[in-house]
Chains A and B, each alone.
Chain A
Amino acid sequence: MRFCVSLFWLLSISSLYGQTAREIVQAADSKMRGNTSQAQITIQTIRATWSREMTVKTWMKGTDLALILLQSPAKDKGIVYLKRKKEVWNWMPSLEKIIKLPPSMMSQSWMGTDFTNDDLVKESSVVNDYDHSIVGDTIIDDRNCYIIQMLPKPEAAVVWGKLLVCIDKKDFLELHTRFYDEDGSLVNTMNASDIKTMDGRLIPTRFEMIPAGKPNQKTVMVYKAVMFNRPLDDAFFTTEKMKILND
């Protein structure tokens, strides 16, 4: 569960050619977002002594509408999560039942991965809910990057106390992010790599989320396929659609 929601966050990390910190973040955000997106993603949860892999398909429209279909492992195949604004439902195919989830469920990590899912429901926007400032430059994988500090606006309902984001200057790719809590302690580090052209866009296709202070632990998310801006009706994101997504 935790996983899906974070997935949304990652999917929403966002191109414009502005030069203010805010515009750079917005450019990076829209790079990964699109008006609509559909993706096939593999997610690996890695711990010291074991690892597990799952595959999901996602459909998203704007920040309000999202569907996630679990395709593997066998036991979870066909499970669907639907988000409409602040409401989230879960379709359990074995029970043929829709379960509405409490809003508090959304502040949790998803399916045991190192992603938190707050941003799925809380709707926090990396563009609107933060104040952005360029604090330096760095080089990641031979790419010149801005280092941008993001501090949440006082009224914003966000889970983080601070974000440090490294965005490639040429292609506006978010390649590295550090997530800090309200006390200023590092919580998670995200690394993006394997930059490829998918559906005509140059994007990172591999994301690693590494929790601070937990050696040998990480979650790796790899985009196998992604499509942007194909038409998706709002009616695609309904509880009835959840039931037949796997048909």
Chain B
Amino acid sequence: MKRFLIILSVFSPLYLLAQDSMAKKNAWSFSGYLKDLEWVRFEKGFTNVAATNLVHNRMNIKWNPVENWTARLEVRNRLYWGDDVRVLPGFTQQLRNENEAVNLSIKWFEAKSAILHTNVERLWLEYKKTKWNIRAGRQRINWGITNTWNPNDLFNSYNFLDFDYEERPGSDAVKGQYLVNDLSNVEIAVAGTGHRPVIAARYFTNYHKYDLQWNAGVYQSRFTAGFGWAGSIKDAGFKGEAQFYADQKNEISRLLLVLEGDYMFKNGWYLSSAFLYNEKGIDRPLNDWTQLKFQASPRSLMPAKWNILINTSREFSPVFSGSMNVVYSPGMNMLILFPAFRYNLKTNFDIDFVWQSFFAETARFDALSHTGFLRLRWSF
């Protein structure tokens, strides 16, 4: 931290952006956070308590030496200790993002119930001209347009239950963008994914108050094409995404579809609902819930075939807010309750309380597990 500040003070401000005459830019910028997350997981009936702690640090460095060039390095350090490290199968393996082609992670140490892990989350260089730009390296290619589930996000899907990973994963890619006009652009990206590459193009435009996008490409050797939109019906937001994969493999989805609506009530309550159709998802109750995985890929954003999400949130005061997510998957008869509260203790210090409960049908509809999370965050 100290070192970065010194670097920061050495470089004098640059004046960039001819139009932005008030801009006073630093060539370097540094930001990040330190979080402590403690969670307690209960099996159904509130038995078998498992407590785990995570110290989570992220450091973001941006370098913008001259107008056309930008570079970014973001590093995530995580120190886990506790019961989940010991008892959950594959806990340490899943710390590594399988979607990354190059392994830029280090396990500094690993014990029976503790691990310290560092991963380079972003590492890219960008060259930018007025009409086009090209970015190479580990980056996030965000093609999603809806809020929760993003079938159009071909390069770096994320699991919405993973609330502690705000930045979401990246991928190792080269991406070019051409600006057709003020509100339209074409992007072409190629990413290595550890398996087979993803190559795709997207056209984005704004027409009649609707953001519209089309994509097409090859996702791990299969042709894919998709469409997404974000607009409104009267005062409510209306968004959607659809993605189609042309192959006959039976076990993975050929079609994913998301419809989403949101509305802000006059009294300050925000309500959003989303529907996800995942063609090859599970549509019957499972016998063995231990096999259930929430690892997202573009072709499987949820384990279930039909999924409905209702989210409501409210800012009770400028420093205290809360939200409630309810996900129900009919067919599987699975229910997820996901409330969260945030209190801003003082500038740059937040405390979060989050709860996740899973219920599902086996012999009968019952709780699978409950997890309570308490998080402190210092942002810098």
By a beta-carbon cutoff of 8 Å, the part of chain A in contact with chain B is: 38, 40, 45, 47, 50, 52-53, 57, 59, 73-75, 77, 86-87, 94-105, 107-109, 111-113, 225, 227, 230-236, 238-240, 244-245, 247
Contact = CB atoms under 8 A, between A and B. Distances in A.
A247 B64 contact: yes
A104 B265 contact: yes
5 contacts: A87-B206, A100-B239, A101-B237, A107-B235, A245-B20
A109 B182 contact: no
A240 B232 contact: no
Interface in B17-69: 19-22, 25, 31, 33, 62, 64
Interface in B192-242: 206, 209, 211, 230-232, 234-237, 239
Interface string B351-367: 00000000000000000
A105 B264 contact: yes
Contacts of A107: 235, 264, 266
Given A94-B167, A100-B211, A232 B142 contact: no
A102 B25 CA distance: 32
A233 B348 contact: no
A111 B318 contact: yes
Given A102-B262, A108-B264, A230 B317 contact: no
Contact of B179 (A40, A47, A240): A240
Contacts of B318: 45, 47, 52, 111-113
B185 interface: yes
Contacts of B21: 38, 227, 230
Given A100-B230, A101-B237, 4 more contacts: A52-B347, A102-B232, A105-B264, A247-B64
Contacts of A234: 182
A59 B21 CA distance: 11
B305 interface: no
A109 B268 contact: yes
A86 B209 contact: yes
A34 to B, nearest CB: 13
A10 to B, nearest CB: 18
Contact of A233 (B16, B19, B144, B263): B19
Contacts of A86: 209
Nearest to B143: A97
Nearest to B320: A112
Given A74-B31, A75-B348, A97-B142, A236 B264 contact: no
Interface centre among A52, A77, A112, A236 (most CB of B within 10 A): A112
A50 B264 contact: no
A106 to B, nearest CB: 8
Contact of B344 (A52, A97, A104): A52
Contacts of B234: 103
Contact of B166 (A38, A94, A105, A239): A94
B236 A40 contact: no
B319 interface: yes
B236 A104 contact: yes
Interface in B234-278: 234-237, 239, 262-266, 268, 270
Given A102-B262, A112-B317, A38 B31 contact: no
Nearest to B181: A235
A118 to B, nearest CB: 10
7 closest A-B pairs by beta carbon, nearest first, are: A112-B318, A102-B237, A104-B235, A75-B379, A100-B230, A74-B379, A104-B264
Contacts of B166: 94-95
B380 interface: yes
A45 B22 CA distance: 25
Contacts of A231: 19
A52 B232 CA distance: 33
A51 to B, nearest CB: 9
A100 B206 CA distance: 12
Central interface residue in A47, A100, A107, A244, by most chain B CB within 10 Å: A100
A46 B41 CA distance: 39
